[in-house]
Structure 1
Amino acid sequence: MDAQDQMLIIRRNDFLDKLTPDNYETLNILHNYIIADKDAYIYFDAQFLNKLYFVKEGFVKIGNVDEEGNELIKEILQPGDVFGQCMLERNNMNGEFAQAHKCETILCAFTL
């Protein structure tokens, strides 16, 4: 099974819904929530290489900016989806971004 297939297994599996309040406290998840206003960047380019994000509410636009400055949308993520710089090819990180899309977005971020 290649890496892309493995990521499909993780996607749409919102394990955070299955955690108890004690689990949240033990994992210190409450301190890792990010609220991004509409159109705010979650990351741009090679920032935050050590983060893994879970979409709790809202939408995230994943894209790239080409050499001419054009925005190329790769994917629109929704609640339950997982994303982060760890999923990028190391040689294809220039201009990569994640941006809150359509509305305020709530994320849970973990340091890898």
Structure 2
Amino acid sequence: MNEELKYWYLRDHKLFKTLSFGQIKDLCIIMGFKKAMKGEVIYFSSSDLPRIFVLKKGTIKIVAVDDEGNESVKDIIQKGDLFGELSLEVDSQTNEYAKVLSDDVVICSFLLSDFEDVLLKNPSLALSYTKIVGLKMKRIKNSYSNLISKDAKTRLRLFLKDWGEKEGVKVGNKIVIENYLTQNDIAQIICTSRQTTTQLFNEMESSGLLLYNRKEIIITDVRNL
């Protein structure tokens, strides 16, 4: 990958907006770059070389694995999101991995040790990083709050509405979402069973709220969701 393309990948990201041309050029030297296809696993929390990742293109899911080997979707990472060792500490108790959901992804990454050095040398970047990670943690906290206080139907509606706002194509009051998640994925995200999720989708289709298939989800009128 040429240095000019690396530069623009970083320049376009909100995290690096405060940096000068020379500072971004220095980052390009230590930046890793990877392309991956749908179904590939691109990150393990147990890696000997912990990293901070920036997703430049595509969508991935973060999957947590418990002590019994059961897997659950922890988060959906979209274009521009950060993931990896965001706390800047290696958590040996966490067992998770990232898997590509879209047809392909483009990822920039930094070794955790290199990224920490960069933050120490650039206070403005450290402040931006703190704000971005703080907002991400707030979003996750709100998601957990919804899981605790809302019933499964409301959780599914909130999830679909949020997904549509972030990635859907709006046509009038209708929203079309490219569907790269299985019903089992969605069930894990909203913390319910696959059977319940299937039943809720069937009910929402019957009531005219949406149309669902493996390729897309059409919210017929977002005002009613």
- Cα shift at 1:30: 8.8
3-state SS of 2:26 partner: helix
> TM-score, with normalisation over the residues of structure 1?
0.67
Q: Distance in 2 between matches of 1:36 and 1:48?
A: 20
Q: Equivalent residue for 1:90? A: 91
Alignment of 1:46-65 (within 5 A): 46-65=46-65
Greater CA drift, 60-69 or 71-80: 60-69
- Bigger Cα displacement from structure 2, 34-43 vs 84-93: 84-93
Q: Take 1:103 and 1:30, find their aligned partners in 2: how far apart are those partners?
A: 27
Structure-2 residue corresponding to 1:7: none
Q: Which moved more, 1:73-82 or 1:18-27?
A: 18-27
Q: What amino acid maps onto 1:14 in structure 2?
A: H
Q: Which one has a bigger Cα radius of gyration?
A: 2
TM-score by length of structure 2 reads: 0.37
Deviations 1:16-46 (A, max 9, x none): 7857886654322696211111111112240
2:99 is aligned with what amino acid? Q
Q: Measured at CA, do residues 70 and 51 of structure 1 come closer, stay the same or move farther in structure 2, by a change above 3 Å?
A: same
Equivalent residue pairs, number: 99
- Richer in strand (by share): 1
Gaps of at least 5 residues in structure 1 are: 1-12
Say which structure is richer in helix.
Answer: 2
Residues of 1 paired with 2:102 and 2:71: CA distance? 16
Task: Rate the CA distance shift 1:80–1:48 in 2: closer, same or farther, 3 A.
Answer: farther
Given that 1:14 and 1:81 are in contact with CA atoms closer than 8 Å, whether structure 2 keeps it comes out as no
Cα RMSD between the aligned structures? 3.1
